[in-house]
Amino acid sequence: QVQLVESGGGLVQAGGSQRLSCAASGRTFSSYAMGWFRQAPGKEREFVARISRSGVTTKYADSVKGRFTISRDNAKNTVYLQMNSLKPEDTAVYYCAADRGTTPTMALGSYDYWGQGTQVTVSS
């Protein structure tokens, strides 16, 4: 079992930056690939970014490529999402998720554990 707790959300102006953190419990954090997803009001939850167990391989949604960076620190059991050049359309609840599978995936159903989410609001 893995418990995930996100933090770092809040209100930011368009063009600004914010860093989200996701702290994981347990000793097996490095056994999981990690992902970030988001859900805007009235919309379905969507993939944002993924990082492999070692942190070497990353993948991004086209909408955030070049602006967001996912990283992890396995010694601290934490995954991060650095968000730059934020836009009002980035406003959403952001969730981190853990995937114990071996196939890289953006599919929500492939992730085994989820955090409770943190709200990010980008004002214009």
pLDDT at 26: 79
pLDDT (tens digit per residue) in 10-58:
999 999 999 999 999 977 999 999 999 999 999 999 999 999 999 999 9
pLDDT at 6: 98
For β-strands 46-51 and 33-39, DSSP reports them as antiparallel
What contacts 53, CB < 8 A, 6 or more positions away? 30, 31, 32, 33
pLDDT (tens digit per residue) in 52-88:
999 999 999 999 999 999 999 999 999 999 999 999 9
For residue 107, what are its two tokens?
């599919």
